[in-house]
Amino acid sequence: MKKWALTVVLLLTLGVATGMASTIDFSTCAAGDITASLGIDCGGVNFFYAFDGATGANTAVIGSGGVVVDAGSDPGGLEGVLVLTFPTSLSMAFDFVIGPQAALAANDFGLLVILNNPGVDFIETDATGVGTVAFQPASNPFTIANVTPNPDASNFTMSSLTFTTAAEAVPEPGTYALFGSGLLMLGFGSRKPIKRRS
């Protein structure tokens, strides 16, 4: 196969393999407590806060403003893990705020986010208390992200969430155009020149 034809095939493969992002619209979620054993499903993702402390004073709810976790009167601070369960996904990103900022200094981080894939992808955010976490793309597809807040913090909010699933790897119209032009190029390139008789 000619080099240019191989390049076209590779471009087409990349175009078909990239997915489309889904953004969670928290205003459409069924508002409520996400500490129950099954959590709450919204936009194809399950949100569950696995409390790991002794007093049970942490609260975690989902609503129009996103996911809000609060330590309440718990002297241990945020003593749990926010578990996000996705369809098999290729990437994810979310905005967050955790605080108060002064409380984050002792452990010197805001959030620890770990994906359950063979690449052992993880991100530890700094102690500024506000930012974006993004795995784009992750080293391998994943279905679970464990978000562990700094235990010295007293509140954490996830205000947005975007993810791309393997199932959503559907070509966009531009990809179809690229595919069609690639086929035409392959067709013309494979034609043998016609020899004229003299």
All domains of the chain in start order, with CATH: 22-177 (2.60.120)
The model's pLDDT over 18-57, given as tens digits with 9 standing for 90+, comes to 567 899 999 999 999 999 888 999 999 999 999 987 777 8
Longest dimension (CA), the chain: 97
Measured distance CA(60)–CA(9) in Å, rounded: 48
pLDDT band for 8, please (50, 70, 90 cuts). very low
Residue 42, beta-bridge partner list: 45
Model pTM score: 0.76
pLDDT over 50 at 118, yes or no? yes
Provide, rounded to the nearest whole percent, the portion of the chain with pLDDT above 90: 65
The model's pLDDT over 70-90, given as tens digits with 9 standing for 90+, comes to 999 898 899 999 999 999 999
